[in-house]
A and B are shown apart, each in its own frame.
Chain A
Amino acid sequence: MTAFEPWSEERTSSIVAAHTHLEGPLMPILHAIQEAFGFVPEAAIPVIARDLNLSRAEVHGVVTFYHDFRREPAGRKIIKVCRAEACQSMGCESLVKHAEDRLGIECGGTTADGRVTFETIYCLGLCATAPSAMVDGKIIGRLDTAKLDKILSETGA
């Protein structure tokens, strides 16, 4: 997985500055911040608010509305399993249970050693090759216990 930069005010400001020519720049800015730092640090919010002339509450409101934006760093590997209807019909829930048991965490959490974040995603649009998952941004179709075990073993779980 990619190494992230440590947070800095200067870098945050320069990311904001690189997007101010856009109409409605906040979403692209937040994506870029997360891409740079791996999450949207609390300290970034007042900087973005100041540079865009918004209130901190407005920026906070946007960050917390969207599932994608993380407020804390994720684990070194991010496993997202689709749990929407098409994947349910192909047994994704038993895969989720299997992963939870092996990782010792509930879906939505990060292992204590910071190795893995295991999350739900609603629909990757791979509904005819279900169940599906996304591992560090790489998509996987026809997920089964064997494929899942291989992914989990790579994390050391």
Chain B
Amino acid sequence: MTIRIFIPRDAAAVACGADDIARAIAAATQKAKLKADIVRNGSRGMLWLEPLMEVEDNGVRYAFGPMTEADASKIVASLAKTPASKIKHALALGPTEQIPFFKKQTRLTFARCGITDPVSLADYEAHGGYKGLERALAIKPIEIVEEVTKSGLRGRGGAGFPTGIKWKTVHDTPMGQQKYIVCNADEGDSGTFADRMIMEGDPYVLVEGMTIAGIAVGATKGYIYLRSEYPHAEIALNEAIRNARAAGLLGPNVAGSAHAFDLEVRMGAGAYVCGEETSLLESLEGKRGLVRAKPPLPAHKGLFGQPTVINNVLSLAAIPYILSEGAKAYYDYGMGRSRGTMPIQLAGNIKHGGLFETAFGISLGELVDDIGGGTHSGRAVKAVQVGGPLGAYFPRSHFDTPFDYEAFAARDGLIGHAGVVVFDDTANMAKQARFAFHFCAAESCGKCTPCRIGAVRGRETMDKIIAGQNTDANLAVVEDLCNTMKFGSLCALGGFTPYPVSSALNHFPEDFGRPARKLPAAAE
């Protein structure tokens, strides 16, 4: 009997030694004369356990991790006599899907990630893949758009704009002209890696989602704009695209239909601002990534001046589920105007870091304390930054905030791309505020003055505050700069840099040489 052994090809696993462990597993199986299939799967998302090895036994996968080469060799050697379920080892974790972090999730977008061989089309189809496309081809394009609108899906890149409305706008532009689907895979926010994980762990779901988008709006060409920091995702995507093309799922007649659609991966070059959609389009056109003024909207005049749907990886990857299971199935998850699930990324100084897909509505405290297990260092949590470098720092007193676009906005924060970065009590929030300005200065495209100049002045002023010079007067300058940037910048880079700065200052004034804030008695 052939045993199936899984060791991820996901970059986070590889960065912790998964390639070496895969070689050790192969050597150990040969030595033990074990018949084994070694599958390089995606990651299950429990990244503190990576590299996570799994061994199948009677259809159940047993987890072992975090693996070392020596442990992997030892465990594999013992498989010759003992089934995986009976192996006693310090790193044996039992059935993977019974691990609480995994069991508590609602995996719609990430349903296959970590389970299948990411580049095997047969595996994808065996696990429900391309069912969404099948349905999309059976209904009218406008019905696809309506389905997406009814699902309540909002842009997962950060802005939260209803995806269906974007699609409708492009759908309604005259037919017969070139239209484009562009996938924003420029996942630059620190603390986020969901795009990377799905592109490496289930690339076909993105290919299928983009194909459906193309059919819905009448676009024949799609581009995935991928950041250059993600070389493993590039490999997986290109392999998936090649296989899909060979199977006739991309090309002049998608799945034998009259619809043409093809895809190309394009690499960015290390510019954070290219995650802003109009800057991304400029970059794709081969220009400096300068932000465009809107209007015109990309839906009317996007890539090369043509009508363009530009969506985040997670938005497009949610589409196959919505089509195959129906809008209602997706809409039934979530709260308020935040429908469906969100792949939340727990990162930074956290004990159980990883990807946690769940319906909107879970509280920040539950995510950090219960799911994440508190800090990695074991010290107290001081602050949590949600939504990347442009997201607000929340103190513990905000841990009752539910994960919902509007609830975060009401507390002067944002969900963004749902990265949650935890800091322990050694963090200095004045330094974090300085970094927010520094990052904005380094990454500003330079087109608008508030961002280009404001960020540099903000960093300089924060340096003075940190050095204790004229604290009050300089803090007044920072507050003024924040206002100018927030209301005067062309895009979210300059416009949102004030979020981390103001939140750090408001919640942690003692780090800025101001008296500590008296916390209101329990708000509830």
Contact = CB atoms under 8 A, between A and B. Distances in A.
B343 to A, nearest CB: 13
B304 A23 contact: yes
B270 A128 contact: no
B288 interface: yes
A31 B190 contact: no
B348 A127 contact: yes
Interface in A123-157: 123-130, 132, 134, 137, 139-142
For chain B, the bracket of interface size reads 35 or more
Contacts of A130: 347-348
Nearest to A87: B190
A125 B11 contact: yes
Given A121-B270, A127-B353, A128-B350, 19 more contacts: A27-B266, A65-B271, A67-B271, A68-B268, A68-B269, A84-B190, A85-B191, A85-B435, A88-B435, A89-B349, A122-B272, A127-B191, A127-B345, A128-B47, A128-B193, A128-B346, A128-B354, A129-B15, A129-B50
B462 to A, nearest CB: 15
Contact of B288 (A61, A68, A82, A87): A61
Nearest to A124: B229
For chain A, the bracket of interface size reads 35 or more
B197 to A, nearest CB: 8
B163 interface: no
Interface of B: 11-12, 14-16, 47-48, 50, 187-193, 195-196, 228-232, 266-272, 283-289, 304, 345-350, 353-354, 376, 385, 388-389, 419, 421-424, 427, 432, 435, 439, 442-443, 445
Contact of A127 (B190, B272, B284): B190
Nearest to B272: A122
A66 B289 contact: yes
Interface string A67-88: 1110000000000001011111
A27 B267 contact: yes
A126 B191 CA distance: 8
A106 B385 CA distance: 28
B385 A85 contact: yes
16 contacts: A24-B286, A28-B267, A62-B288, A66-B270, A66-B271, A82-B190, A84-B389, A85-B388, A121-B229, A125-B12, A125-B229, A125-B230, A127-B348, A128-B193, A128-B347, A139-B232
B229 A85 contact: no
Nearest to A142: B16
Given A89-B423, A125-B229, A129-B50, A69 B269 contact: yes
Q: Which 5 residue pairs spanning A and B have beta carbons closest together?
A: A128-B353, A26-B286, A84-B190, A141-B15, A127-B347
A44 interface: no
Interface of A: 23-28, 30-31, 58, 61-62, 65-69, 82, 84-90, 121-130, 132, 134, 137, 139-142
A65 B288 contact: yes
Contacts of B353: 127-129
Given A68-B269, A69-B269, A89-B421, A129 B16 contact: yes
Contacts of B443: 122
Interface centre among B348, B349, B423 (most CB of A within 10 A): B348
Contacts of B14: 139
A140 B20 CA distance: 13
A68 B191 CA distance: 21
B264 to A, nearest CB: 8
Contact of B190 (A61, A69, A85, A139): A85
Main secondary structure of the interface of B (DSSP, over half): mixed
Contacts of A69: 269
A65 B289 contact: yes
Contacts of A121: 229, 270
A134 B442 CA distance: 20
Contacts of A134: 229
Contacts of B432: 85, 88
Given A123-B190, A127-B192, A27 B269 contact: yes
A27 B283 contact: yes
Contact of B421 (A27, A82, A127, A137): A127
A95 B404 CA distance: 36
A86 B289 contact: no
B376 to A, nearest CB: 7
Contacts of B345: 127-128
B310 to A, nearest CB: 15
Given A62-B288, A89-B349, A90-B349, A126 B15 contact: yes
Nearest to A140: B15
A85 B269 contact: no
B287 A62 contact: yes
Contacts of B272: 122
